[in-house]
Amino acid sequence: MPRTAYVNGRYVPHRQAAVHIEDRGYQFADGVYEVVPVFGGTLVDEELHLDRLERSLRELRIAMPMSRQALKMISAEVMRRNGLTNGLVYMQVTRGVAPRDHKFPKTPVKPAVVMTVRQTKPVSQEILDNGIKVVSRPDIRWQRRDIKSTSLLPNCLAKQEAHEAGAYEAWLVEPDGTVTEGTSTNAWIVTKDNKLVTRSATNSILNGITRISLLKVAAAEGIEFEERPFTLEEALEAREAFTTASSIYLLPVTEIDGKPIGNGHPGILSQKLRQAYIERVAKPGAFQAEAAA
């Protein structure tokens, strides 16, 4: 089936999808995006993703391009046209098209909206059985990581370095030695006293939607957790570690910088949380019920 994209009010063949060369997203990364997982034809945590989209736009002083209901309708239509039942919906909103100038356009322009979808394959059994390798890299990003900006060059550089080192992900480290997050994931550890730890949702990290949902799962499972910074040294000494994102849910980390975490195998708590999260995702009507609560 040929792929279809949504670009500024039109559904077009994916190969022909294009934006103007003076779109500020293209020239300045002046825009934001969301990646929403789709499971069984349902957008997972759609309301939370739209909440974050609105927040990111507000922080950059970009107007919502349309109502939430309209965005939902477009998402559903792009999914329908692509026959998507399991995968990802990518939505991007930029400030729009204007003559190139670092300042915002004097006369407000219409925000540009792009939406595409992608089929995804399940995480391989090998990764689930063995976990993933992570390398640490200095965090050289700007100080507003809470905004889901399209400006991702430092993330891309670190992710490429991880790939070249034979690792799945890079965890980014502040000058004080604390881990912020991965290049496209949130970072978690399980301490030796079996306490779940992830960094607090401040400007230093992107508050991942899977992160938010997993904390709810942990609370429901009676798992004790702390939201606080943890050091790379603490991660290396942890009983378990894992990383989360909308595209992968939860993956156990079994090696950081060439050193095994715990016994070098996916931990019991990591596996329990992954299973509980997947059960939540697969539960019919779970997200609609939470949104209505």
Q: Tell me: do 171 and 100 sit in the same domain.
A: no
pLDDT for 2 equals 84
Residue 195 appears among annotated catalytic residues = no
Residue 292 lies in a domain: no
Given a contact cutoff of 8 angstroms between Cβ atoms, the answer to whether 91 and 115 are in contact is yes
Residue 271 lies in a domain: yes
Residue 293 lies in a domain: no
Given a contact cutoff of 8 angstroms between Cβ atoms, the answer to whether 143 and 25 are in contact is no
Q: What is the CATH number of the domain that holds 47?
A: 3.30.470.10
Q: Tell me: do 154 and 268 sit in the same domain.
A: yes
Given a contact cutoff of 8 angstroms between Cβ atoms, the answer to whether 134 and 253 are in contact is yes
Residue 160 lies in a domain: yes
Residue 88 lies in a domain: yes
The size of the chain, in residues, is: 293
Show which of 78, 97, 119 is a domain's final residue.
119
Identity (one letter) of the amino acid at 160?
Answer: Q
Residue 289 lies in a domain: no
For residue 282, give the DSSP letter.
H
Mean pLDDT by 10 residues, the chain (293 residues): 93 97 98 96 96 98 97 98 97 98 94 97 94 98 98 98 98 98 98 96 97 96 96 98 96 98 97 95 64 47
Show which of 90, 119, 148 is a domain's final residue.
119
Q: What sign results for the dihedral spanned by CA atoms 142, 30, 208, 144?
A: positive
Q: Tell me: do 183 and 244 sit in the same domain.
A: yes
Q: What is the CATH number of the domain that holds 251?
A: 3.20.10.10
Q: Tell me: do 138 and 227 sit in the same domain.
A: yes
**Active-site option among 148, 159, 192, 283:** 148
**CA distance linking residue 230 with residue 239, whole number of Å:** 14
Q: How many domains does the chain have?
A: 2
Residue 105 lies in a domain: yes
Global pTM reads 0.94
- What's phi and psi for 275, nearest 5 deg? -65, -40
Domain that holds residue 51: 4-119
pLDDT for 284 equals 57
